[in-house]
Structures are given as structure tokens and as C-alpha cells.
């Protein structure tokens, strides 16, 4: 069944056309990812579907009696509990219960009870509680007044209200912005099971890859749909662009050939007729539609000074804010090439650990040892609130680098896409993404050896996120990452630390293992709530957990071997390329060539040993 039909839609904002003659159809059960450049009109389209703004032309048609769910722009408030706030989202249920409390006559009371049964009103509190739990609110938190929470946490409640309604059409605009990694993974699972239709605007590529089955691309005032997830969309669009470029080149070649003939013979009497024929043919060739691509987004981190390991070590440390320690029993170290992501729900101490590593918090007990000349770049999303709205990116950089020339300051800003006029735009007029770029430029101005990034992607679009991934891959220093974006963790981190129960420990596994762990915890909690503790099923779960714990070191070593093989393979290719280049023998010393030859042989032996170990480990895991 078609839930939403958009025909020949025209939307204008401030006299500028965002959509002109756009079409879109969405059926029940389809989950659509809405993508496009910032300012293309994604959020405006959502507002038009909701009815907050009227289209300038065309029509938006919803199915009869279709129930619409969306996250309000304003965070909900009030003195009621979180659970009550979510239950109140179902206005029909709330109205029926209120009417029932007024003690209507027997016939009306029977009608109300019948309707309450039909809408599963008795299960509503359990459903609401489960959604809130998935978004990070335990039982005690659900009973607290809504007004006691910050705006970010209340936006989670707004999301819970939209999910609770189980609408026919669900509209989500950047739903993961206020979620931690755990809540994001839960939301992905919820959306995968959602039976209705959904439109999701997101810069989270992982969410668009795992949760949508069609992409709608807003570009040049039109909507083009692509079947499949975001990866499929990128592949299809790349192929289409290549075909368009090839056709443009073919037509351009035809034009050039015909034009050359005309230019040569148009004034020759014997060739005049043929020249005129060519001119007519030339006028009939279709116009060349060049592949109009956005300027690619690129980030570049300054190259840091190389330091000896470890660059940072924490021994028997505790840290907090004057009261009981937030984190204790900390024994951690970081090396120059580490790529570490922190796991754990919000409130467990991830940002506290980041501040300790950055030197912004001192341990109340224990020791933090830092390498000489260690420089730390610290990105925190709240820092955007500290920017001077009347200043510019250039003035902020000049203040941060008082001894640098204007050219040097502009060069640092240009590393993050803030060149030319963008460097002189007032902060008050900068987008969230531009402010995030400025903060990245500021925190890397001294070429840090260690980058600590606390939610760096919240305001970056998909292209900028991919640029950040590439820049981090090329960065020669260490990285500590706190993010709700599983895609970023998968591409950047090669080690995971789990923050929980008041301490920090290495997590033996990858992000998929962590997904599995969270799912098993949720299932275990659900089963324990429905059956007596200590039964046979609980023992079986403990046995499975013990088995996983025994196998975890094997899996971790297998991943280490695979990464080592990848690095050696790349090094071998570079050496082969160098030895195959005649310039090598013309410009390099004999001892350099001898070293390269010796190293190539050593790499072969190392790879053979690692491949043998990989086979042994794989067999052990298969047999377990």
C-alpha cells in the first residue's frame, strides 16, 4: 500500500527554489534514506510532509487515516516522569483512559474497553519502558521528572515518543545526533524490525547502510531514487556519472570533428554543401551535460613529531570531580600508532577519561606519565558554544596562533575546507559543520602527537565524515575516539576500550562483537524479567559467556595477525615498486638497494610465519 505520494512538488525558501517538479512514492514496509548536500531541502521536505509549511506547487498525499510519527524540533518538558511523557504521545489512549476515569455510562464504558483492547493499551507501559531502556534510560531514570534532564537527553525522549506511536509513516531527521553508540545500535535493530514506512535523514553512513532499502537523493531541485542502501547508491551514482562522462566525451569529439571540417571547408565552393550539412548535424547534437560534481571534501592533519613509545601511561589511577571517583583502577598505555575507540553508554565516564588523557583533569590517585614533547589535540563538541559569534574562523586561528602570519593561519584553516571567503565568515553565520571544521583546525594547529576526538562527526555531512576517515588513516600520530557512529569506529579504530562499572578495560573484539554482546545482554535482561533467576537458561548463558571469554584471546590474536599481514603486504608492494623503477638505481646508493632487497626477503619470511599462525588459529576457532 502506498503511504506517501508526492507529485510535481515545488518548495521555495526565501525566494530560492529547493524543489521544482519533484516526485516521490513510498510504500508500507519501505525504509527510505533521504540524502543530499546541506541546504538541498531535506529538512524542508520533512516539514512539508508534516504540514508545518505549505508547498508552492504540486501535492503531498498521505494514505487515508495514516498515522504520522516524527521527532519534534523542541525538546519535550514538564514535571511528569519520562514514562508518562512517552505514554502521553498516544493521544487516543490518553483520551480514552481519561474518559474512563470520568465513569461514563455502561454502554460507553464497554466501547472504551473494547477500543483499549484493540489498540493494545494494556501493553503500552511495557512497550514505552522497553523503548526508553533501549535509548539509555534504566528503570530509575524513567521515573525521574523530565525537567531534570538536559536538552540532549530530553531529545532522546522525543525520539522515544515517535517510536512508541508505531506510526504508518515515521519521519526521522538526524535521529542519532543525541545518542551514544549503544543507543544507536539499539535504534538500528528497532528500525530493522519496524513494519511501517520510514523516511530517515542521516549523516550516519552505517545507519543508512544497515537500516534503509531505498535512497532518495535531493539534487538540483529533483528527487532521484536508488534501490538499495547507501553503499549501493554510491556505486550506482558512480556508474551513472562514468556513463555520463563517457557520453559527454563522445559528443564533444563528434562536435570537434564536425567543427574542424566546417572551419576548413565552409568557404570552399566545392565543399560548401557538405559544410552546411555538417553545421545542421552539429546543431542537432544533444547538449553536453557535464558531470557536475561537488568540490571534494578533504581534510589534512599536520604531520606530528615522532615520539618513542609509550607516549602516555596511566598506573593505578583514579579520577573524578572532587567527590567519589568516576573512574578507578586505571592501568592503560598509548603508543604513537594507536587507534583506540571508547565503548560504553553515556554517563559511564568516557569524556572524563578523555579529559584525563588531555591533561584537563588530574588524577586524585595514581600516576599519569607523558612522553617529553607530547602534544595533545582535544576536540569536544561543546567547544562550539565557546566560539565568539562575532569573530571569524581567521580571527580565532590568529588568536590561537599569535606568532603565525595571516598566510600560515589561512593555510591551517584551508586544511579543513575553510579557505577564501569561508575563513572570513562570521561564526554566527557558520553552519554546525563549518564550526566543527574550525574546531578541528584549532585543535590540530600545533601538529599534535595524540588526537582526542569526542563526537567529532555530529555536525559533519557524509562527505566530510569520509574525509575525516581518510585524514585519520593518513595521520601519523595516535587517536582516541569517542563517537556514536559505528561506521567511523569500524574504519578508524584497531583497539577498543570498554568504559563501564567505574573503570576502563580493553575489549577483546570488534564492533560486531560488541553489537552481539549488547543484543545478548538485552535478551538476557528480558528473559530474566520473565523467569526466575538462577534457572537452567541462566546457567546456559553463563556457560556460553565463559566459552566466549576463552575464545576472545584467539579472536583478538587472529585480527592482529590479519592486520600485520595487510601492513606487510603493503610494504612489500612498495618495495617491489621501488626496485622495479629504473630511477631507483640511478638515484639511490648501493646500500639502500641492498637494504630493500634484504627487507623484501625478510618480509617474505614474516608473512609465511604469520600465514601459518593464521591457519592454526582459524582451525582452533572452528573446532571450538
Quote the pLDDT of residue 26.
95
Please give the backbone phi and psi of residue 55, each rounded to the nearest 5 degrees, phi first: -65, 155
Three-state DSSP at 104 gives coil
Does the pLDDT value for residue 377 go beyond 80?
A: yes
Instruction: Kindly write down the DSSP assignment for every residue of 282-305, as one continuous string.
Output: HHHSPPP-----PPPP---PPPPP
Between helices 511-530 and 181-193, what is the axis angle to 10°?
Answer: 70
Would you say the C-alpha torsion 35, 39, 40, 45 has a positive or negative sign?
A: positive
Quote the pLDDT of residue 534.
47
Quote the pLDDT of residue 533.
47
Quote the pLDDT of residue 270.
55
> Angle 381-387-393 (CA atoms, 0-180°, nearest 5)?
105
* Rounded (to 5) percent helix, strand, coil in the chain: 50, 20, 30
Does the pLDDT value for residue 159 go beyond 50?
A: yes
Quote the pLDDT of residue 536.
56
Quote the pLDDT of residue 178.
81
Query: What's the alpha-carbon Rg for the chain, to the nearest Å?
Result: 30
Provide the pairing of β-strand 312-319 with 365-370: antiparallel
Mean pLDDT of the chain: 84
C-alpha cell, 264: 576548413
The 10 Å CB-count burial string (b at 16+, else e) for 321-342 is: eeeebbbbebebebebebbbbb
What residues are paired with 2 via a beta bridge?
A: 27
Question: CA-CA distance, 79 to 172, in Å (whole number)?
Answer: 26
- Contacts of 559-566 with C-beta under 8 Å, sequence gap 24+, read 559/510, 561/610, 561/613, 561/614, 561/617, 562/614, 563/494, 564/610, 565/607, 565/610, 565/611, 565/614
Task: Name the pLDDT band for 267 (thresholds 50, 70, 90).
Answer: low
- For residues 560-572, give the mean pLDDT: 82
Two domains, one topology: 2-233 and 312-530: yes
Does the pLDDT value for residue 283 go beyond 70?
A: no
> Angle 542-543-544 (CA atoms, 0-180°, nearest 5)?
90
What residues are paired with 503 via a beta bridge?
A: 500
Which among 248, 251, 210, 250 has a CA at the least distance from the CA of 228? 210
Q: How confident is the model over 63-95, as pLDDT tens digits? A: 998 889 998 767 787 888 999 999 998 888 889
Quote the pLDDT of residue 286.
58
Quote the pLDDT of residue 617.
80
User: To the nearest whole percent, how much of the chain has pLDDT over 70?
Assistant: 87
Quote the pLDDT of residue 540.
59
Domain 2-233: state its class. Answer: alpha beta
Task: Name the pLDDT band for 357 (thresholds 50, 70, 90).
Answer: very high
Would you say the C-alpha torsion 157, 38, 431, 352 has a positive or negative sign?
A: positive
Q: How confident is the model over 89-126, as pLDDT tens digits? A: 888 888 988 888 888 888 888 888 888 888 888 889 99
Please give the backbone phi and psi of residue 99, each rounded to the nearest 5 degrees, phi first: -65, -35
Q: Which of 13-22, 203-212, 534-543 has the lowest mean pLDDT?
A: 534-543
Quote the pLDDT of residue 258.
65
Does the pLDDT value for residue 313 go beyond 90?
A: yes
Quote the pLDDT of residue 293.
44
Does the pLDDT value for residue 554 go beyond 90?
A: no
Does the pLDDT value for residue 334 go beyond 80?
A: yes
What residues are paired with 498 via a beta bridge?
A: 343, 505
Does the pLDDT value for residue 570 go beyond 70?
A: yes
Quote the pLDDT of residue 154.
87
The answer to whether domain 312-530 has CATH 3.40.50.300 is yes
C-alpha cell, 552: 576472545
Q: Residues 6 or more apart from 26 whose CB is under 8 A from it?
A: 2, 3, 4, 5, 32, 169, 197, 199
Q: What is the 3-state secondary structure (H, E, C) of 547-582?
A: HHHHHHHHHHHHHHHHHHHHHHHHHHHHHHHHHHCH
Quote the pLDDT of residue 289.
46
**Spatial contact of 455 and 439, defined as CB atoms under 8 Å apart:** no
Quote the pLDDT of residue 287.
56
482 membership: H or E segment, kind and range: strand 478-482
Count Cβ atoms below 10 Å from residue 194 Cβ, excluding itself: 16
Q: In this predicted model, which residue has the larger pLDDT, 296 or 498?
A: 498
User: To the nearest whole percent, how much of the chain has pLDDT over 90?
Assistant: 39
Quote the pLDDT of residue 198.
96
- Residue spans of the domains in the chain: they are 2-233, 234-284, 312-530, 536-623
Does the pLDDT value for residue 220 go beyond 70?
A: yes
Question: CA-CA distance, 489 to 474, in Å (whole number)?
Answer: 16
- For residues 600-618, give the mean pLDDT: 85
The DSSP output letter for 120 is T
Q: Which of 198-202, 406-410, 542-546 has the lowest mean pLDDT?
A: 542-546
Q: In this predicted model, which residue has the larger pLDDT, 458 or 397?
A: 397
Which among 211, 213, 171, 153 has a CA at the least distance from the CA of 44? 171
Q: In this predicted model, which residue has the larger pLDDT, 597 or 244?
A: 597
- For residues 294-316, give the mean pLDDT: 87
Residues in the chain, overall count: 624
Question: CA-CA distance, 25 to 216, in Å (whole number)?
Answer: 10
Amino acid at each position: 500500500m502506498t503511504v506517501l505520494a508526492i507529485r510535481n512538488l515545488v518548495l521555495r525558501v526565501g525566494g530560492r527554489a529547493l524543489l521544482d517538479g519533484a516526485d516521490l512514492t513510498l510504500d508500507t514496509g519501505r525504509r527510505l534514506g533521504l540524502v543530499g548536500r546541506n541546504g538541498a531541502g531535506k529538512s524542508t521536505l520533512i516539514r512539508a510532509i508534516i504540514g508545518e509549511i505549505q508547498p508552492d506547487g504540486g501535492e503531498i498525499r498521505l494514505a487515508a487515516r495514516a498515522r504520522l510519527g516524527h521527532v519534534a524540533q523542541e525538546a519535550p518538558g514538564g514535571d511528569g516522569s519520562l514514562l508518562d511523557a512517552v505514554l502521553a504521545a498516544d493521544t487516543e489512549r490518553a483520551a480514552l483512559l481519561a474518559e474512563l476515569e470520568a465513569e461514563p455510562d455502561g454502554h460507553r464504558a464497554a466501547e472504551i474497553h473494547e477500543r483499549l483492547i484493540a489498540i493494545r493499551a494494556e501493553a503500552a507501559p511495557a512497550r514505552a519502558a522497553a523503548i526508553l531502556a533501549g535509548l539509555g534510560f534504566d528503570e530509575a531514570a524513567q521515573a525521574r521528572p523530565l525537567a531534570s534532564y538536559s536538552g540532549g537527553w530530553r531529545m532522546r525522549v522525543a525520539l522515544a515518543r515517535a517510536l512508541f506511536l508505531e506510526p504508518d509513516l515515521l519521519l526521522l531527521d538526524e535521529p542519532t545526533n543525541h545518542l551514544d553508540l549503544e543507543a544507536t545500535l539499539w535504534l538500528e535493530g528497532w528500525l530493522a524490525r519496524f513494519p511501517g514506512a520510514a523516511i530517515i535523514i542521516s549523516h550516519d553512513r552505517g545507519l543508512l547502510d544497515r537500516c534503509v532499502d531505498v535512497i532518495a537523493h535531493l539534487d538540483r531541485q529533483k528527487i532521484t531514487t536508488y534501490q538499495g542502501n547507501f553503499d549501493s547508491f554510491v556505486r550506482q551514482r558512480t556508474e551513472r556519472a562514468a556513463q555520463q562522462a563517457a557520453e559527454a566525451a563522445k559528443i564533444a569529439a563528434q562536435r570537434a570533428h564536425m567543427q574542424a571540417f566546417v572551419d576548413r571547408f565552409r568557404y570552399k565552393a566545392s565543399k560548401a554543401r557538405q559544410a552546411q550539412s555538417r553545421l545542421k548535424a552539429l546543431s542537432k547534437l544533444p547538449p553536453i551535460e557535464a558531470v557536475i560534481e561537488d568540490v571534494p571534501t578533504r581534510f589534512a592533519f599536520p604531520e606530528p613529531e615522532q615520539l618513542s613509545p609509550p607516549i602516555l601511561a596511566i598506573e593505578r589511577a583514579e579520577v573524578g570531580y572532587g567527590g567519589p571517583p568516576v573512574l578507578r583502577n586505571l592501568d592503560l598505555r598509548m603508543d604513537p600508532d594507536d587507534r583506540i575507540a571508547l565503548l560504553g553508554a553515556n554517563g559511564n565516564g568516557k569524556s572524563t577519561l578523555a579529559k584525563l588523557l588531555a591533561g584537563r583533569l588530574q588524577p586524585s590517585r595514581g600516576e599519569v606519565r607523558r612522553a617529553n614533547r607530547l602534544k595533545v589535540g582535544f576536540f569536544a563538541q561543546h567547544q562550539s558554544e565557546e566560539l565568539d559569534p562575532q569573530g571569524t574562523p581567521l580571527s580565532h586561528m590568529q588568536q590561537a596562533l599569535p606568532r603565525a602570519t595571516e598566510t600560515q593561519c589561512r593555510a591551517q584553516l584551508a586544511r579543513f575546507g575553510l579557505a577564501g571567503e569561508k575563513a572570513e565568515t562570521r561564526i554566527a553565520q557558520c553552519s554546525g559543520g563549518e564550526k566543527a571544521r574550525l574546531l578541528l583546525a584549532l585543535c590540530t594547529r600545533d601538529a599534535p602527537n595524540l588526537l582526542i576526538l569526542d563526537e567529532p562527526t555530529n555536525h559533519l555531512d557524509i562527505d566530510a565524515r569520509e574525509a575525516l576517515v581518510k585524514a585519520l588513516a593518513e595521520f601519523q600520530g595516535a587517536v582516541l575516539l569517542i563517537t556514536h557512529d559505528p561506521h567511523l569506529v569500524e574504519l578508524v579504530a584497531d583497539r577498543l576500550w570498554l568504559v563501564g562499572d567505574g573503570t576502563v578495560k580493553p575489549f577483546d573484539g570488534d564492533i560486531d562483537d560488541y553489537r552481539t554482546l549488547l543484543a545478548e545482554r538485552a535478551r538476557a535482561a528480558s528473559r530474566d524479567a520473565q523467569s526466575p533467576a538462577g534457572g537452567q537458561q541462566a546457567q546456559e548463558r553463563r556457560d556460553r559467556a565463559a566459552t566466549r571469554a576463552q575464545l576472545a584471546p584467539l579472536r583478538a590474536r587472529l585480527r592482529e595477525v590479519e592486520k600485520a599481514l595487510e601492513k606487510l603486504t603493503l610494504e612489500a608492494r612498495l618495495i617491489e615498486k621501488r626496485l622495479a623503477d629504473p630511477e631507483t638505481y640511478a638515484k639511490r646508493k648501493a646500500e639502500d638497494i641492498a637494504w630493500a632487497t634484504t627487507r623484501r626477503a625478510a618480509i617474505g619470511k614474516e608473512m609465511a610465519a604469520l600465514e601459518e599462525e593464521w591457519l592454526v588459529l582459524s582451525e582452533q576457532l572452528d573446532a571450538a
